[in-house]
Amino acid sequence: MRIHFVIHESFEAPGAFETWVRDRGYTPTYSKVYTYEPLPQSVDGIDLLVVLGGPQSASTTKEECPHFDAAAERSLISKCIGAKKAVLGVCLGSQLLGEALGAKHERSPHKEIGSFPITLTAEGRANAKFAHFPDSLTVAHWHGDMPGLTKDAKVIASSEGCPRQIIEYGNLVYGFQCHMEFTKDVIESSIAHSERELTESSGLRFVQRPDVLRANDYRTMNEQLFVFLDNLVAAYESQE
């Protein structure tokens, strides 16, 4: 399996995704757009595209952030979907994924920063890729927006703070608003680069303090993510 990561900022690293890739002997490649590395021109060398999060919005312009080209990323996502590759968007990546399919991103009802439970919907409980999930699972969050819904989209999981946590756009295409890839190292880096945001958001209902963020245990959600990814790979390989 060839996994390509689109990374928007150094502090929003692949985290547990890289553990999964390493443990299974897969081949990772990267577009670190924060260093102006280019996106792939061809999707032939990609089996699974993972578009990660970032502080940008899906509507952020190149004038506002010169290294972030939302239109180019939407085009890459569309090419991968058209070529029947597996695609996973995380946070900002999920919003770009929805937009690539014609669904405008929206503001989430609540900003979420910290570990809070998500709950499977009826669609989620019926989806074999999530059969290993309990009905409720505590996962990490760091967002203020959420992905849009196409007419065929299925909401797999929601939270009290955000109704769109995991979305199935197709059998091989998923958006995760939540951050099941976070590790303690990624959290520490995110805290270091988000002091102003954390200060300004202090006291909001679904925003945890830095000391709480550091104390959270991310291992269980990482393991649940790995099983989902294995299921996604199996679905991808079964079509070949």
Listed as own residue / partner, the contacts of 102-105 with beta carbons closer than 8 Å and 24 or more positions apart are 102/150, 103/147, 103/148, 103/149, 103/150, 103/153, 104/148, 105/57, 105/58, 105/59, 105/145, 105/146, 105/147, 105/148
Residue-wise pLDDT for 130-169, tens only, equals 999 999 999 999 999 999 999 999 999 999 999 999 999 9
Host domain of residue 66: 2-238
Residue-wise pLDDT for 200-229, tens only, equals 999 999 999 999 999 999 999 999 999 999
pLDDT of residue 121: 98
CATH number, position 91: 3.40.50.880
Residue-wise pLDDT for 167-207, tens only, equals 999 999 999 999 999 999 999 999 999 999 999 999 999 99
Residue 240 confidence class, pLDDT cut points 50, 70, 90: low
Residue 37 has pLDDT above 80, yes or no: yes
Residue 59 has pLDDT above 80, yes or no: yes
Residue-wise pLDDT for 70-126, tens only, equals 999 999 999 999 999 999 999 999 999 999 999 999 999 999 999 999 999 999 999
Stretch 30-48: mean pLDDT: 97
Residue 34 has pLDDT above 80, yes or no: yes
Residue 239 has pLDDT above 90, yes or no: no
Stretch 28-48: mean pLDDT: 97
Minimal CA–CA distance to 31: which of 67, 61, 66?
67
pTM of the model as a whole = 0.97
In order, the DSSP letters of 100-128 are: HTT---EEEEEEEEEEEEEEE-HHHHT-G
How many domains does the structure of the chain reveal? 1
Residue 57 confidence class, pLDDT cut points 50, 70, 90: very high
pLDDT of residue 151: 96
pLDDT of residue 61: 96
Residue-wise pLDDT for 119-137, tens only, equals 999 999 999 999 999 999 9
Measuring CA to CA, how many Å separate 65 from each of 33, 59, 62, 83, 119?
11, 11, 5, 29, 34
